[in-house]
Structures are given as structure tokens and as C-alpha cells.
Amino acid sequence: MTSDISPPAERPTVRLLPKANARAIRHGFPWVYANEMVLDRRTKKLEPGTLAVLEDSARQVMGLVAVNPSSKIAARMLDTDASAALDAAWFEVRIAKALDLRARLFDAPFYRLIHAEADGLPGVVIDRFGDTCVLQPNAAWAEALIAPLCAALVKVTGVSVVIKNAAGRTRALEGLDDVSGVLAGAAPQGPIAVSMNGATYLADVMGGQKTGLFYDQRPNHAFAASLSRGARVLDVFAHVGGFSLAALAAGAQEALAVDASAPALELAAQGAAAMGAEERFATRQGDAFDTLAALRSEGAQFDVVICDPPAFAPSRNALEAGLRAYERIARLAAPLVADNGILGLCSCSHAADLAQFRNASVRGIGRAGRRATLLHTGFAGPDHPQLPQLAESGYLKSLFFGL
């Protein structure tokens, strides 16, 4: 893939079909689907990531897009100015705006800095860990322009290390490879300590899940922790101890973290030790469904149970199976909650909306023979802003039930 894309004067033109919703795009919807765009032989030959001028069916210019004729998202809107130069200066404007928001939200530089479309960089995710940024270029155009993107990131933030994480599922859909590496500076030696909600987390930014830590759950960790003083806590799909370490920091009596990944649980244990809470913390490696069933057979009971699984419904094709999985998790977790306890259930599946996820959770609780009241509904933190026109940007839902 080329590292530079043709200047404005040489950009090709792509056009919407008459049936396309041009008004929605003019009002901020950032994507053009393949069935909405004229995909003639010329357009199909464009290299993924090519910058092009988008016109409506009446040939009125709508703006600058990045084209990928082999993707279901055939074009991504980048700028309403079709002649914009996508150089380092262009990236600097968007990164500076995102940085200003995060600097007002957080006292320390540990947050999601760029949240894709909502921060004006479609398909781009950047998480910041102090002097290190982890960049996920999940769209072909961002991969093609990774050099000016990285240069702008370093200039605006002042970080000395930029790591490219190529493990995102959507990269394959864009025809991109899965080769990660260091774009600037030197790779960190060991995990990076991150303080959130009074807890200490250890993020493996080189080999961990996603970028190394799930910043999106920060407010939900805090809410669960507020209910955990003196409680016995079970954290399922715990990763590096997201809910359990926050609960310990808030005064939980004890916490058990369950995950399939031994390296993630080791980092969770190291985090508990760094907090001086290792005597109140335990881990259990294994399949979450099997472990929930085993805990029930052992007669285990907890005051707070949290289940934060990976996306069971990452696409519409997986929706029905995903909803059944969420129902099953709720059915297996509910019996482990002591009377007057709390059950927290989370979904990061954008294909399952809030109502669908809530209904599946309630069905599962009911099938377990329990009755619940919904205490709180949580979403991602403000460093994960939502683009109102794009439902997918509001992917995270957390439901807290009283049982």
C-alpha cells in the first residue's frame, strides 16, 4: 500500500446512486455503503484507501471520502472540503481538538484519545498511556497515511512512543494485514501502570488484548465499586481485573477474577499486589460459562457479580446467537448473587441495541428463577464520544440489577 495519496487536483470522483440517502450523509452520517455507490469498473479498480471526491446522484459535490471498493463500507467521509490536503497539519487539527477535550476530562494522560468517527478520524483508534500511544489504523485510508498521522500525533501530544496495533477485527474486512510494530520511539519494557478509580492496572500495550486496557468501562467500574464496600465480588471476563480491582480499591472484602487468559490474570494479580490488596484477591483461569456452572455447583455466593464478555454479536449476522449467549450468561450468573446482591451485565456488541441486550439479560435472570430490578444503565465514558448519526459508536451497555 502506498504511503502517499494523489493531491487534490488529481483525485478521482465517485458518485452516489439515486437511492442513497444523501441527506443523511450531508447531516453527518460518515459512511457510504457499497450498495449506495456507483461501483463501475473504474471505481472498482481504485486502491483501498484512495482519496476521492464524493458527488450525489445529481453530481453535486458532497466532500472528500476515502474509498475502499472491496469493503461493505465503500467510502468514509473525511472532510466536507473536497480539496482538503490530508497532510500532517490536517491530522494535527483533529488530534488537538480531541486532546483538548481529554485534558479537560482527566487529570492524567491515560484515556482514549481518538475514538474513530466521533473524533473526525474514521476507523482510527488511539489510546494513550502517559508517554505512550497505541494506534489502531482500522481503515485502509489510515493505513496509507500512517506516516503523517503518526507525525501529527507525536507533535500534538508530545509522546515519545507510538505503537501500531494491527489486531483489530475490522482490519481484515478492509483487506489489511495483522502486523503490529513500533512507529516511534522504543517499545516499553514490561506493562505500563495505569491508575483509575483508585485502582492500579497493568496494561500490556505490546501483546495484550486490544490496546492493553479497556478505558471505556471506567465509569461502570466506578459505579460497581460504589456498591462493593465490604462485599464479596466476582469479576467474570475480568481481563486485567477491571471491575475487581476497582472494587478492592473501594473496600471490597474479597474479589475473584475469572478469565480464560492466564497472562491477563497474572497482570491482574500484579495490579492487586501493587495496591496492597493481594490477600483479598484471587484468580481462576478457565472458560467463563464452565466456571460459572462450577461455582454454582460449589455453592459459591457473592454480593456483587459482574460479567463483561467480549462482543457476542459483533455483526448483524451474529445477532441471534449473540443474544442467546447474553441470556445464557445471565442465567448462569444470577444464581451466584446473594439475596439483596448486585448483578452487572455488560455488552460491547454494537449489533445488539440496548433494548435487545436488556431483554436477553432479563430473560436469563428469569430463567434462573430470580427476579430483578434495574438499578442503573451505564455506557462508555466521555473519552469514547458517540457520533449521534452512527449507532455503532454507542456500542457499550452496562446493566446493573438488584436481585
CATH number assigned to the domain comprising residue 247: 3.40.50.150
DSSP E strands: which ranges in 119-228? Answer: 124-129, 132-137, 161-164, 181-184, 192-196, 199-203
CATH number for the domain harbouring residue 99: 3.30.750.80
Q: Please tell me the predicted confidence (pLDDT) of residue 207.
A: 85
Q: Please tell me the predicted confidence (pLDDT) of residue 3.
A: 43
Residue 168 scores a pLDDT above 90: no
DSSP calls for 239-253: TTTHHHHHHHHTT-S
Per-position b or e across 74-110, b if 16+ CB within 10 A of its CB: bbbbbbeebeeebebebbbebbeebbeebeeebeebb
- Answer yes or no: do 121 and 160 share one domain: yes
133 is catalytic: no
pLDDT digits (tens, 9 = 90+) for 7-24: 677 899 999 999 999 999
Which one, of 114, 106, 54, lies nearest residue 82 by Cα?
A: 54
pLDDT digits (tens, 9 = 90+) for 237-255: 999 999 999 999 999 999 9
- Answer yes or no: do 50 and 109 share one domain: no
Q: What would the mean pLDDT of 77-84 be, rounded to a whole number?
A: 96
pLDDT digits (tens, 9 = 90+) for 182-236: 999 999 999 999 999 999 999 999 988 889 999 999 999 999 999 999 999 999 9
- Answer yes or no: do 120 and 178 share one domain: yes
CA–CA gap between residue 339 and residue 403 (Å, rounded): 6
Per-position b or e across 220-232, b if 16+ CB within 10 A of its CB: bbbbbbebbeebb
- Answer yes or no: do 73 and 18 share one domain: yes
- Answer yes or no: do 126 and 212 share one domain: no
pLDDT digits (tens, 9 = 90+) for 296-305: 999 999 999 9
User: How many domains are contained in the chain?
Assistant: 3
- Answer yes or no: do 63 and 101 share one domain: no
Q: Is 383 buried (19+), middle (13-18) or exposed (0-12) by CB count in 10 A?
A: buried
Q: Please tell me the predicted confidence (pLDDT) of residue 7.
A: 64
- Answer yes or no: do 19 and 109 share one domain: no
CA distances from 297 to 290, 292, 293, 335 (A): 11, 9, 6, 10
- Answer yes or no: do 227 and 100 share one domain: no
In a domain, 101, yes or no: yes
pLDDT digits (tens, 9 = 90+) for 107-123: 999 999 999 999 999 99
Q: What would the mean pLDDT of 126-150 be, rounded to a whole number?
A: 97
Residue numbers of the domain that contains 72: 8-79
Q: Give residue 63's Cα distance to chain centre.
A: 28
In a domain, 2, yes or no: no
User: Are 303 and 233 in contact, with CB atoms under 8 Å apart?
Assistant: yes
In a domain, 346, yes or no: yes
CATH number for the domain harbouring residue 59: 2.30.130.10
Of 39, 60, 79, the last residue of a domain is 79
Q: What would the mean pLDDT of 393-399 be, rounded to a whole number?
A: 94
Q: Give residue 74's Cα distance to chain centre.
A: 22
pTM: 0.94
Residue 163 scores a pLDDT above 90: yes
Confidence of residue 6 (pLDDT cuts 50, 70, 90): low
Which one, of 251, 161, 216, 322, lies nearest residue 239 by Cα?
A: 216
Percentage, residues of the chain above pLDDT 70: 98
pLDDT digits (tens, 9 = 90+) for 265-284: 999 999 999 999 999 999 99
Of 79, 104, 136, the last residue of a domain is 79
In a domain, 102, yes or no: yes
- Answer yes or no: do 116 and 69 share one domain: no
In a domain, 296, yes or no: yes
- Answer yes or no: do 300 and 380 share one domain: yes
Residue 294 scores a pLDDT above 50: yes
Q: Please tell me the predicted confidence (pLDDT) of residue 2.
A: 42
In a domain, 146, yes or no: yes
- Answer yes or no: do 339 and 253 share one domain: yes
Which cell goes with 324? 442467546
CA–CA gap between residue 242 and residue 401 (Å, rounded): 19
User: Are 16 and 36 in contact, with CB atoms under 8 Å apart?
Assistant: yes
* Helix or strand holding residue 254 (H, E): strand 254-259
Q: Fill in the DSSP letter of residue 216.
A: G
Of 18, 45, 79, the last residue of a domain is 79
Confidence of residue 5 (pLDDT cuts 50, 70, 90): low
Q: Residue written as cell 472494587?
A: 247
In a domain, 3, yes or no: no
Residue 351 scores a pLDDT above 80: yes
* Helix or strand holding residue 319 (H, E): helix 319-333
In a domain, 1, yes or no: no
Residue 1 scores a pLDDT above 80: no
Percentage, residues of the chain above pLDDT 90: 92
Q: Report the chain's mean pLDDT, rounded to a whole number.
A: 95
User: Are 395 and 384 in contact, with CB atoms under 8 Å apart?
Assistant: no
Of 133, 150, 346, 348, which is the active-site residue?
348
- Answer yes or no: do 315 and 205 share one domain: yes
Residue 264 scores a pLDDT above 90: yes
DSSP E strands: which ranges in 85-150? Answer: 110-115, 124-129, 132-137
